Structure 1
């Protein structure tokens, strides 16, 4: 037996770790009630309970803050938790929220089903058509939710016009910057009020951490979202935060490599028989190519979508033939992934609803990774030859 107390504290050291330590502690001890009061009231910096924040989340938030030109960002347990913190943390019954009609599938569900259930009216409009978007604004519209580049159809929103019309009416604009990342767009530079990320995707980059991030232009907006996130326990794992921090240090290199390969893949797909259309913002035949320079800073990104002739049968043959590429409903991994929105992200929509968005049974989205360009093109060539 020993008479030493179980919780002995951290060792002191004149040196410091180069890699951020993982701190899994759920609870943090304070010296006395006055010190605890000071932490809660903002007079002292510290941690209390992991649901309210922990060191690994703070380190990660600070890194993304610097990328976005923000301050005080909130890391959440998933990208959808970040979307939820913005919508539910800032809207109340009687408000109206306007969303882009090509949002991520779960964001669409939140707009169509969850907000109305709580008395918040919603509607959707085409973010590439400024006139149509403006026509959908109501007197009670309090927030607009838009993705800079839509998932999965890679259409580019007319963000300048949307933000201008929102600011003229005092409407908040929340921008999901997951596809584009701060490498292409910093939404606050364009006047956005809220920036959202699924950190799970390109920022973390290795498909081993599930996280989100949300921040407001003003401390008040961020605090209102933080209170909601803490109350509901949208808490991130310290280990996932540590993994995402590691991933961020190679983000610039990964993004540049994947973007270059994506451009080559889009060009190759456009030359292949049996491919009905290719959507990549860097190609001149993309319907929103004119926005790549001014809005996307000349960075069309790593996402390529295309449509095969032959419907579901051809889609099944293609996926089976492309056995070197992961068929998975995700994006942003260090390896290329292929997704089929009709059977994954947008499966909840009716066939008519998917058709209205241009999503057929032959429609695919490719998240290009960091493989050698030649090897990836050869894999796609072989799979398409098999289908044709």
Structure 2
């Protein structure tokens, strides 16, 4: 009997998450390849004129153009949807393409969006600069303040938009509370889940409508390609997102989709091991940082104000955390003393990477906006990789010592 492949959706939805990550969204050609094929094509040919007319009219299945469908991209979309527990997914060219599309596809002039103040710099730029250009009103709030969400709602509020954990301050949003609030008011929830991935957190289990990703991060996991994804109901994806994507074209390249598709096979293993390593490194750093007058921002440690909530709604707290050492000079001294850990603004990588957000990921923001978010001059963000954590600890130990933190 022929083995079930990802084309049998009824079977794949019964599989457990780790199995879906390896076998979901597998389409095999007549050659029976084990590794999914890479389809590098922009267009397709047809047996006759009626076939192409039926496909463009939506009356027949099949490919029409790679801005709309591509077999490699479709395999990735199916696998991510399975892992997320979503009805559908559309892949994007990058994480920011995903965030932009998830907002602009559903917001119009006169609408209102409530967003978390703690966010990736480019996400705040969307809220603070891009949306207002189109007459869309925006309000930013402290996402950890449940009352602030309800207080910000207006009659024209259409979208809640936030990250959890947030970049780079690791703010944790109470998913159940905010999802319930959004549902009660008919507001669409858009959650950026890039810091966790579906391996560690599934916002749709709490009622989120839309989950968006920078698949560049944990999903790829090895710093190779740019990619994004948006998950939602089949109705929302096809009727709200697809018209925007069809006509604006923020599509992922098939090669990038193939790379991420293969990365998903090991996502669960990587995310959990990196989370364990991040907790171990955090436990080592915390007494040193606090002794020097700094502070830790690590949801995996009991000192985080929302540690219990993070443990409740996440499988593990992820590979990324931050800590504040007081001044830019001290932060730069630590970075310059690193021997194993690389200075890099990427995250989710199998390698340990560290950066200074105020001068990199959030450099385009005003000093006042950074202060509002908690992105101080002494803040450092680290992505803990798959190296032996003892080696990472030794490197951080010597870097702190050389920077005067003993």
**TM-score after normalising by structure 2:** 0.89
Larger mean CA deviation between 39-48 and 126-135 belongs to 39-48
The alignment status of 1:80 with 2:96, answered yes or no, reads yes
The alignment status of 1:166 with 2:157, answered yes or no, reads no
> Within 2, Cα distance between the matches of 1:292 and 1:67?
20
The 1:140–1:337 alpha-carbon spacing in structure 2 relative to 1, beyond 3 Å, is same
Partner of 1:60: 76
Partner of 2:301: 283
> Within 2, Cα distance between the matches of 1:14 and 1:160?
46
Partner of 1:307: 324
Partner of 2:343: 327
User: 2:46 aligns to what SS in structure 1?
Assistant: coil
Alignment of 1:194-343 (within 5 A): 194-272=210-288, 273-274=291-292, 276-297=294-315, 299-309=316-326, 311-343=327-359
> Within 2, Cα distance between the matches of 1:13 and 1:42?
24
List per-residue Cα deviations over 1:236-284 (Å, max 9, x = no partner): 1111111111111111111111011000111111121436011111111
Larger mean CA deviation between 156-165 and 58-67 belongs to 156-165
The 1:133–1:30 alpha-carbon spacing in structure 2 relative to 1, beyond 3 Å, is same
Larger mean CA deviation between 349-358 and 275-284 belongs to 349-358
Q: Does the CA contact (< 8 Å) of 1:155 and 1:287 recur in 2?
A: no
Partner of 1:376: 392
Larger mean CA deviation between 351-360 and 184-193 belongs to 351-360
Partner of 1:131: 147
Q: Does the CA contact (< 8 Å) of 1:75 and 1:214 recur in 2?
A: yes
User: 2:323 aligns to what SS in structure 1?
Assistant: strand
The alignment status of 1:116 with 2:132, answered yes or no, reads yes
List per-residue Cα deviations over 1:289-320 (Å, max 9, x = no partner): 120232224x11111110113x1111221111
Q: CA RMSD in A?
A: 1.6
> Within 1, Cα distance between the matches of 2:42 and 2:293?
52
User: 1:271 aligns to what SS in structure 2?
Assistant: helix
List per-residue Cα deviations over 1:180-216 (Å, max 9, x = no partner): 1112221111111111011000011111110100022
Partner of 1:185: 201
The 1:13–1:22 alpha-carbon spacing in structure 2 relative to 1, beyond 3 Å, is closer
> Within 2, Cα distance between the matches of 1:360 and 1:314?
12
Larger mean CA deviation between 94-103 and 352-361 belongs to 352-361
Alignment of 1:82-101 (within 5 A): 82-101=98-117
> Within 2, Cα distance between the matches of 1:102 and 1:222?
30
Q: Does the CA contact (< 8 Å) of 2:117 and 2:372 recur in 1?
A: no
Q: Does the CA contact (< 8 Å) of 1:73 and 1:222 recur in 2?
A: no
Partner of 1:8: none
> Within 1, Cα distance between the matches of 2:299 and 2:30?
51
> Within 1, Cα distance between the matches of 2:227 and 2:46?
28
The one of 39, 46, 53 aligned to 2:55: 39
> Within 2, Cα distance between the matches of 1:46 and 1:79?
27
The one of 342, 357, 377 aligned to 1:361: 377
User: Per-residue deviation at 1:125?
Assistant: 0.7
For structure 1, the residue ranges without an aligned partner over 5 or more in a row are 1-11
User: Which 4+ runs in 1 deviate beyond 6 A?
Assistant: none
> Within 2, Cα distance between the matches of 1:230 and 1:209?
22
